[in-house]
Chain A
Amino acid sequence: MAAVLLAGFVCVWKLQERVDAERTTLQLGNDELSLRSPAVMKKLSLEYAPLLGAIYWTRAVQYFGGKHQAHDQNLDQLWPLLDIATTLDPNLLVAYRFGAMFLSDAPPRGAGQPDHAVELLQRGMKANPVYWRFYQDLGNVYYFDKKDYLKASQAFEAGSKLPNTPPFMKIMAAKIAGEGESLETSFALWLDIYRTSTNQDMRKNAEDHLRLVKMEMDLRAINQIADVYEQKTKQRAKRISDLAQAGLLAGQPQDPDGFPYVLGEQGKAEPNPKSPLREEWLKEKKQRSNELLK
């Protein structure tokens, strides 16, 4: 009897594998949310909304992670999932913070929907009025993704007035108001997230950004040295070693991943073609030139 049952289950298992394989070819997405109204969801959840909120947050994480892994940039369902999760449990702080990060980051890192990120964070502030981190996150979205430095500064300023807020908020408010976008400000913002986040994923994201910003700062410094070299020798350096030989550089500078920087065709500093950071750098460069064209 036990053998028959076991054999039966093995058959079911194998059959399911076949069914799964066939259904993959149909490309039936499981993205569709059957119920889209967060308010109705809240009512239907009876008194168990917090658990359902956590389940929807997990769904959002799984959805985002799955899409990321599949290199699929269509994240249309991310906002509805976060909308439902935070309506079911308005105190689910993590859903606002990470949700805003997922939404605001430009593709391929995120959904490239900073407006939704702003909406999500503003909703979070309403439900949790003394949680100053939301103001920091809002400031970051305005600063990094919407490039609205006035609103970014205002968000940091508003957050700095809340109880138990570190002085960092007031400093950033003044810095952004005075300088707008600068590599130093970006570095300081990401560094604070890196230092204060207890979550591994958030720290990893901050670390990735820090490496990129650090590289940008290095490239800027090398270019300044190359300009000095050009002024002295009346010709542009062709290699980094030219700068070192001229005594302007102490040695061969390397990016945060340990790859030596190179000089490009026009004598401008670039990441090493073998460096994993180069691809990210090129993407950001392209994005920036697109924004300038706009």
Chain B
Amino acid sequence: MRNIQTVAANTFREAVRDRVLYNLVFFALLMMGAAILVGQISIGIEQDVIVSLGLTAISVIGIFIAIFLGVALVSKEMDKRTLYALLAKPVKRREFLLGKFFGLVMTLTVNTAAMAAGLYIALWTVKHPLLKSDAYILVAVYLILLKLALIVALALLFSCFTTPFLAILFTAGMYVAGLFAADLRTVHGVDIDPGALRLMRGISYLLPNFQNFDVMGAVVHGRGVPSVIVWQATLYAILYITIVLTGAAVVFSRRNLK
């Protein structure tokens, strides 16, 4: 456990040193620009745009960080050959992987929390005081964070057995496919073979369903999210991340690092 903590803390420190949190400046500028502009060029959607733009930026920036840094977590250590020095110490491979995962999730949590604070400040500038319903934004931010953790796990898995470039493609592909997972179950067509339909249905349940974490449509309009959805999404994320990280640990422990 201590090994995992040490690797996680170092991963977080490394991300900060790599100026990953600089994206917050971009986010701040984006939110300020939106807060000033939108009220002047549109009608009645100042708040909607601030919230949807803020949540979209939190999600998109987070996804970029999760995919690119997630893939680099292992490959960078191998390229720099620091991995060998680390594994020579009493650190198990699975501990290294888990430490890396939690380190990046910690980075993403800090990043997301800072962006959420920026979103609230922008919202406060277009309408004050803030309302009770504005607290629902935090639910959306929390679900985005769960989604990002799942993407980090996928990126780690792919980076354990393929090149960084392919790992990025696979992770991004899984993310996009995961957004359409539910649609695979509802495909209709005259000429589709029933076997193929069953296969698609099976695949749709195997793919990570990223729609589970999407509550932006409700939150943007100040509508609450039922707690059961939040709990289910949390459970889904924990379960799926556990499966993916277990897979990653198995692949990584069998990988020939010579």
Contact = CB atoms under 8 A, between A and B. Distances in A.
Contact of A47 (B41, B53, B214): B214
Interface stretch (B42-50, B224-232, B243-251): B42-50
A199 B43 contact: yes
Given A47-B179, A91-B221, A54 B214 contact: no
Contacts of B221: 91-93
Contacts, number: 69
B91 to A, nearest CB: 37
B5 interface: no
B43 A48 contact: no
A94 B44 contact: yes
Given A51-B52, A92-B48, A46 B41 contact: no
Q: Interface centre among A47, A61, A92, by most B CB within 10 Å? A: A47
A62 B43 contact: no
Interface residues of B, number: 27
A47 B56 CA distance: 9
B45 A50 contact: no
Contacts of A48: 52, 56, 59-60, 216
A51 B44 contact: no
Interface in A14-63: 43, 46-51, 53-54, 57-58, 61-62
A46 B217 CA distance: 12
Contact of B43 (A53, A89, A90, A201): A201
B217 A94 contact: no
29 contacts: A43-B183, A47-B179, A47-B210, A47-B211, A47-B216, A48-B52, A48-B56, A48-B216, A49-B217, A50-B48, A50-B52, A51-B52, A51-B53, A51-B56, A53-B52, A54-B42, A54-B45, A58-B38, A58-B41, A58-B42, A58-B45, A58-B49, A61-B42, A61-B43, A90-B217, A92-B221, A93-B221, A94-B43, A94-B48
Interface of A: 43, 46-51, 53-54, 57-58, 61-62, 89-94, 98, 199, 201
